[in-house]
């Protein structure tokens, strides 16, 4: 893995994902036959850490897991991508889990149980040092809000994925430099159904906003100004699990290198496109794969 100089701290969740593939997702009270069942390392924090590392960033992952076999499984997965485990602290609570159903179109539904993630309520001294020295801090909503607020106050460039959506306090949002919701999260935060309008509404106080809209790309706005849409690269989707985390992790890696926001968004969109062509949240691509996809797309597009 080639390091490109940017340092990214990812503070967030680590889970074991159980993915069940179905022809179609069941309705209320309905039973459907599963087509297969797999286990992956997951959690928005872990996904973003792996995605950023595969894009060449130097990553410091800060998380809480259990003292159980699931935590051992996650440790093996993180080590395989060269991630340092010093910031992954074991607790008495069970490791977090996510149960994911993926249909034939690649769309998913997820049930998340926080477990040890819910124990991450404050920063240790080592966590604080990691946050303060990183070029970019990536945060998500699967750990308690107090630790997000504490970390955001220390971060240099703070990127927040507001998922799952909740009532995020103003003291957190005011410390966020880049907000990365999907179109549904943006609509819930603003009441705006149009992603471009939602991006504009959220881009106050000098904040940049990137609203991901799946196969339609990404809507950008900054400091109350629309920056237009970055188009998605057309691909055949297998599983959308982790696509948003791949986008955020890749975005963080590029911003840590010093890339301008639209350029970072284009690379991140290509990374997310590649991720949906593979099953599970472990489909994040490596940097050379993203570069190859962008080059091939440029050639085809003329």
Cα–Cα distance for residue pair 182/246, rounded to 1 Å: 13
Verify whether residue 135 is a known catalytic residue.
no
The beta strands (E) that lie in 114-196 are given as 136-140, 157-161, 178-179
Cα–Cα distance for residue pair 101/85, rounded to 1 Å: 29
Q: Nearest 5°: phi and psi at 219?
A: -95, 130
Q: Which of 17, 127, 245, 282 is catalytic?
A: 245
Write out the two tokens for 269: 């969109």
Cα–Cα distance for residue pair 175/148, rounded to 1 Å: 10
Is the preceding peptide bond at 164 cis, omega within 30 degrees of 0? yes
Write out the two tokens for 255: 């911003």
CB atoms closer than 10 angstroms to residue 236:
7
Cα–Cα distance for residue pair 46/41, rounded to 1 Å: 8
Residues involved in catalysis: 245
């Amino acid at each position: 893995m080639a390091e490109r100089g940017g340092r990214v701290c990812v503070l967030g969740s680590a889970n074991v994902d159980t993915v069940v593939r179905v022809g179609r997702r069941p309705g209320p009270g309905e039973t459907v036959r599963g087509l297969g069942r797999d286990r992956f390392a997951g959690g928005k924090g872990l996904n973003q850490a792996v995605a950023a590392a595969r894009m060449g960033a130097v990553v410091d992952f800060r998380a809480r897991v259990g003292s159980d076999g699931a935590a051992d499984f996650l440790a093996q997965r993180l080590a395989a991508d060269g991630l340092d485990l010093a910031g992954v602290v074991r607790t008495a609570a069970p490791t977090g889990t996510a149960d994911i159903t993926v249909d034939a179109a690649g769309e998913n539904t997820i049930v998340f149980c926080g477990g040890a993630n819910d124990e991450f309520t404050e920063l240790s001294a080592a966590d604080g040092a990691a946050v303060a020295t990183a070029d970019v801090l990536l945060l998500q909503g699967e750990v308690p809000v107090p630790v997000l607020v504490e970390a955001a106050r220390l971060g240099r460039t703070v990127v927040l994925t507001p998922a799952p959506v909740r009532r995020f306090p103003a003291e957190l949002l005011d410390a966020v430099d880049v907000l990365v919701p999907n179109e549904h999260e943006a609509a819930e935060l603003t009441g705006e159904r149009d992603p471009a309008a939602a991006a504009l509404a959220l881009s106050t106080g000098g904040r940049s906003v990137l609203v991901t809209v799946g196969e339609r790309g990404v809507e950008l706005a900054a400091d109350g100004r629309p920056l237009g849409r970055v188009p998605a690269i057309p691909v055949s989707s297998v599983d959308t699990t982790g696509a948003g985390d791949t986008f955020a992790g890749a975005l963080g890696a590029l911003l840590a290198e010093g890339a301008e926001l639209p350029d970072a968004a284009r690379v991140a969109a290509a990374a997310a496109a590649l991720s949906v062509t593979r099953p599970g949240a472990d489909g994040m691509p490596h940097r050379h794969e993203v570069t190859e996809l962008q080059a091939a797309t440029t050639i085809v597009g003329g």
